[in-house]
Amino acid sequence: MTAKLIDGKAIAAQLKAEISVTIQEKVASGHRQPGLAVILVGDDPASSIYVRNKRETCEQVGIQSFYHALPNDISEKKLTALINELNRDTDIDAILLQLPLPKHIHANKILEHIDPYKDVDGFHPYNFGRLAQRRPLLRPCTPYGIMLLLDHIQQKYKGSHAVIIGASNIVGRPMALELLIAGATVTVCHRFTHDLSYYVKQADILISAVGKPGLIKGEWVKNGSTVIDVGITRLANGTITGDVEFEAAKERAAWITPVPGGVGPMTVAVLLRNTLVAAGFYNHKN
């Protein structure tokens, strides 16, 4: 068996095309162009690249982006004041605060200041709570992007055992909630889990989101399973790799995401989708 690749680039491109058409139709009928405010604190190179890519993608589909580049030493008080201003701005439908933040700023405290109806990342406790209650509004981008990948390959959820490696608030925990809503039986593994291979070998759906190259050995992967690799690490030789031993895993899995080109493009596409939800162009069921 050789796994089929789940082409995140192609699926994301299709979603972005649909978003672009929706925006054109809504604007033509008299709606205001949706607006996304992007806040970058400091000059972290990776964050700067992410923000530039997100802003360029916004322009491609017709979302107006408002960029706020702030110094690394900005105070929590001033950052909070900006967020409050954006919360009140009727031209801003969604707010993206690029993480990580400098160490002197408490990220959770700042994220809670964002209006939950403008919380495009889905990180606010209100949105997390709605997801936990099976009433999602703005959904965390990477987990929902993964669900769209799984839906694309017509993944069976009910009766399937989904194993998630990593329990972060950004991926692991909301991913578990998404899969529970879909009807899967879910196991979450983390740094305190003993005998990781035991759980991986049971996974009909395996999702690894740790960022540790080679963490998941190919021989652990269950025959016929679906493997979603969220981890992404640049090695010393410049190559990019995921958490899963790809070459060995693809000989056992039925479906597998490449790294790069799998989950990453979907995260950005769902960010755009969430902006349209916040703008009222979509409801959460679209």
Among the options 121, 204, 229, 243, which is catalytic? 121
Among the options 54, 118, 222, 250, which is catalytic? 54
**Is residue 54 classed as helix, strand or coil in its secondary structure?**
helix
The answer to whether 33 is a known catalytic residue is no
Phi–psi pair at 147, nearest 5 degrees: -60, -40
Question: Among positive and negative, which fits the CA dihedral 243, 108, 47, 83?
Answer: positive
**DSSP one-letter code for 210:** S
User: Measured over all CA atoms, what is the biggest interatomic distance in the chain, rounded to whole angstroms?
Assistant: 58
**DSSP one-letter code for 219:** G
Among the options 16, 98, 118, 155, which is catalytic? 98
The answer to whether 93 is a known catalytic residue is no
Token pair 């939950």 is at which residue?
116
* Contact status, residue 20 vs residue 62, Cβ threshold 8 Å: yes
Q: Report residue 141 as tokens.
A: 């981008």
The answer to whether 91 is a known catalytic residue is no
Indicate which residues carry an active-site annotation. 54, 98, 121
